Structures are given as C-alpha cells and as structure tokens.
Amino acid sequence: MLARILQTALQNTTACHHGAIHRIMLQDAFTLTTLIMLLAGYLLGSVSTAIIVCKLMGLPDPRTVGSNNPGATNVLRHGGKKAAAITLFGDMLKGLLAVLLAMAFGGSETQLALAGAGAFLGHLYPVFFRFQGGKGVATFFGALLGINWMAGVSALLTWLLFAKVFKISSLAALITAVVVPGWLYLFGSSVDVIGVCIFMSVLLIWRHRSNIRNLIQGTEDAIASKEGVEAGNNKD
C-alpha cells in the first residue's frame, strides 16, 4: 500500500516536472518568436522610402532641406506630389507588411502589434541611414491598418479631416495620435495592443516636439507642394 502511494506521488511529481519544463519551453519559444518579429519589423522599417525616392529621382536629400525630416510632407514641399505620393505609400506599406508577415507566421494579436511597433521604430531610427529617420506618421498608419483595420481607417480619416480643416500636417498627426487608443478600444483591441499603440503614439508626439513649439509660436508650415511653393514665390 505504502509503495503504491509513493509510486503515485513520484509519477505525479515527474508529470508536474515535465509539464513545467514544457511550459518554460513554450514561453521561451514565444519570446524568441516575438523578438524575431520585432527585429524583422525594425529592419523593414529602417528602409527609408523618402531618402531612396529622392535619390532615385535626383531630388535633394530630405534630411538636408526644409524640416530635415525624411517623410512625405517634407518631400511634398521640396520634391513635388509624385515623389511625396510614392514616399507616403512606401512608408505606410512597410508598417503594414511588418504586421502581415507576423500574421503569416501565426503571430498573436500582441505579436502583430509589436511587429508593427518594430517597423515604426525602424522608421524613426533606421539602422541603414545612421539612425536619422522620420517622424513615423505614415508607418504608424500602415501598422494600425494591419493590427486593426477599422481603427486604422478611422485614424486615417481623422488625419484627413483635421488636415483639411487646419491645413497643417503636424497638427493633424498630433490630434490623431491622441485619439488612436480610443479608436482601438472602440473596435475591440486588447489591452496589450492598446498599450503598444499608446507607446507609438507617445513616441510620435515626442518626435513632433519641434512642431509643437512652432505651433505654439504660430510659425508651423502649412501643407504645400513644391509646385505650390514655386507658384507662390513667382507671384511674389
């Protein structure tokens, strides 16, 4: 009787031990997969569309003109609508692709958000371009479209509305960054996903600190294309 009890206890202990090892292995695999998705997103985000487009089209390096920001708005002012449209599409695409790649490999909702955050960080601090990146608005939108497409579309519409009303890209981006967590909550994203997106929103606002100073001082540039700027100069 005693031997049977001891044998049962030993079997239970062994089963618990094996179960604990299995859980640890699963956790380690999840962590490793998450890091790979985050790194892949970062490398994808580090491909600076603005710099590449301007170089291919014989335009000035966007880091050396205007706001010194390699983003679609600065390219619009100094390279024209075509270059800006390509830049905007490329920046959004890399945020979306990072999420879709994570999805293709069976990533969880949180892992998808982290992959998108990786692309966002890559755009801000690109390893391929001496960590001199943009402010992340388009890449943020692209990542949102992959994470929660309804929230992403709502964020885009929010930006378009305020850009139309105020004619100032940075102000529209700042307002959108503030309301994005609300859109995610409304359309059913988890607390973890909302937390990741709040991190991106805060970082986006911080990257716009010079724009915030200009807005306070009333010196922030309005949205204008190269053609519009040239027409205004010729009129003057």
The string of pLDDT tens digits covering residues 62-78 is 999 988 899 998 999 88
Report pTM: 0.84
Between helix 81-104 and helix 72-79 the angle, nearest 10°, is 160
Domain with 135, as residue range(s), is 14-235
3-state class (DSSP) for residue 67: coil
Range with the poorest average pLDDT among 72-81, 88-97, 224-233: 224-233
> According to the model, what pLDDT value does residue 234 have?
41
Inside any domain, residue 126 = yes
Please say if the pLDDT value at position 105 is more than 50.
yes
Q: State the total domains in the chain.
A: 1
With respect to residue 9, please indicate whether it lies within any of the assigned structural domains.
Answer: no
Residue 1 domain-assigned? Answer: no
Element (H, E) at 149: helix 149-166
The helix or strand, by DSSP H or E, that contains position 222, with its residue range, turns out to be: none
Quickly state the pLDDT bin for 135 (edges 50, 70, 90).
Answer: very high
Residue 228 lies in a domain: yes
pLDDT at 26 over 70: no
Identify the pLDDT of residue 89. 97
Q: With 50 as the cut, is the pLDDT of residue 93 above it?
A: yes
Whose tokens are 């892949």? That residue is 40
Averaged over 115-136, what is the pLDDT? 95
126 φ/ψ angles, rounded to the nearest 5 degrees: -70, 125
Q: Is pLDDT at 228 greater than 50 in this prediction?
A: no
pLDDT band at 225, cuts 50/70/90? Answer: low
Residue 8 domain-assigned (yes or no) = no
In a domain, 91, yes or no: yes
pLDDT for 221: 87
